[in-house]
Structure 1
C-alpha cells in the first residue's frame, strides 16, 4: 500500500514593512513586503497538524527576495513588528486531522464510559427487581424477561457543514505559484497563457487555484502586490485573465466563475454575466453562487 504524506506550505498573510529600511541590493527605502507561510504535515493531502511558520521579504522595487534564514537583522526586526501588527493567525484547518482524531477518540471514550455506567446500573436494577418478585410468587421465565429494559443510546451528532465563505477560504489557502499539469491542468495552462503576456508582473507574486463543483468551475488568481499596479495595468490583468480562461476552457462546458484577489480581498469578480471591478471583502463575493 502506497501512503502519500509529507509537509506542505501555504501562504497565510502579508505584512507591509512601513519602517525605515533600505534594500541592500538597489538602495530603495521602505520597499519591503513580508509574506508569512505556515507549514503543515499531511497524509493523503489531508492536513494533520501545523508544524510552524516561515517568512520571506521581497523588495517591491528590484524584486530581491530574502528567505527566512537570509533576512538581514535590521529588516528582521522591522518585519517582526509588521507581522505583530498584522495579527496573522494559523488557519484552524491546518490542524484538521489532529482535531478530527482527538474528536473521534473523545467520542469513543465517552460512548464506552456511558455504556459501562449503563450496564452497571442496569445489571444491579435487574437483580433487585427479580429478587423482589421471587419473594412474592414464582414468575414464569417470559414474565421476568419483560422487566428487562435496554437503555437507549444517544444518537451521534453530525458535524455542522461548512458555510460557503469557509469553503472559499479553504480553497484560497491551497493556491500555489507552480500548479502542476497533472493535478491542476486548468491553472497550469492559465499560468502559461497569462504570465508571458504581462511583462510588468513578477511571476513569484502570483498564485493559482482551480476548483470544480459539478458543472461549475472556479478560477482564482492571487496577486500579492496588487496595490502597486496602476489602474491601466490592473485592467490589463483583468482582461488577460478572462481571455486566458476562455482560451483554456474553450473545449469544455462549464459555468465559469473568476476571482482576482490579494489575501482575502477581491478586486475582480466574474460570475456568469456579472462583473465587479472594485475591492470587496470575501463576504461580499459574487462567487457565492459557485457553492450552491
Structure 2
C-alpha cells in the first residue's frame, strides 16, 4: 500500500507531465531550449521577490518569468545582440540576482536545494488542484492557439500573410511557458524544469508522424517518466526530482535503439512536415 504523500506526488507529477508535453514540442520545433533555461533560471528571482515583499510564490515566479519574456522580445527587436547572447545574459543575470537577494535577506531561512531541484514528495492537495487546474487551462490555450503556433513555427512569413499574427502567438506561448514554470518549480525545481520540457518531446519526435501525434506522445512519455522516476526513487532512495529526469533520459536512450523501417519512414515524414 502506497503512502498518501507518494500518491499525491504521482498525481501531481503526471498532471505536470501532461502539460509540459505539448509545450516541449514547440520548444523542440522552434529550437528554443536555451529560452526554456532562461525562463527557469528567472524563477529564483521570483522566489527572492516573493520573500522580500511577502507575495504568493507562484504569482511572483510567473510575473518575473513573463517580464523576462517581454524584455527578451523588446531587446530582440532592437537587434543589438543575437538571440542566444541575449538569452545567456538574461539567464545568468536573473539567476545571480536572485541568489544575491536571498543572501542579503539574512532574516529568511530557505532551502535553496528544494527550489533548485524540487521536492515533489512535499506537494499538498491544494498544489494538486493548482497543477491540474492550471494545466487544463494551459492545454485548452494550446489547442486554441495550435494553428497559429504551428504555422508561425513552420513559416512565420507565411503565417503573417495568412493573418495568423505569429508575433502574438509567440507572446502567448511565452506566457504559457511562464505559467508552467511557476507551477513546475515546486515539483522538479528550477534546474530541472527544462529537462522535463525537452526530453519527453525529443523522445516522442522519433515515433511521431504528425505534430499532433508528437504532442500526445510527449505527454504520455513524460507521465511514464514521472511514474518510473518516482518508483525508482522509492526503491533506490534517490532524490525524486532528479530521478524523474533520469527516467526520462532512459526512455530517450531507449528510443535511439534501432527501429523498424516503417517507424523510420514515419519519422522522415514528420521531419518533412515540421520543415
Range into which the TM-score falls when normalised by the shorter chain: under 0.3
Q: TM-score, normalised by structure 2?
A: 0.19
- The TM-score normalised by the length of structure 1 is 0.18
Higher strand share: 1
Structure with more relative contact order (C-alpha pairs < 8 Å, separation 6 or more): 2
Select the structure that is richer in helix. 2
Please say which structure displays the higher CA radius of gyration.
1
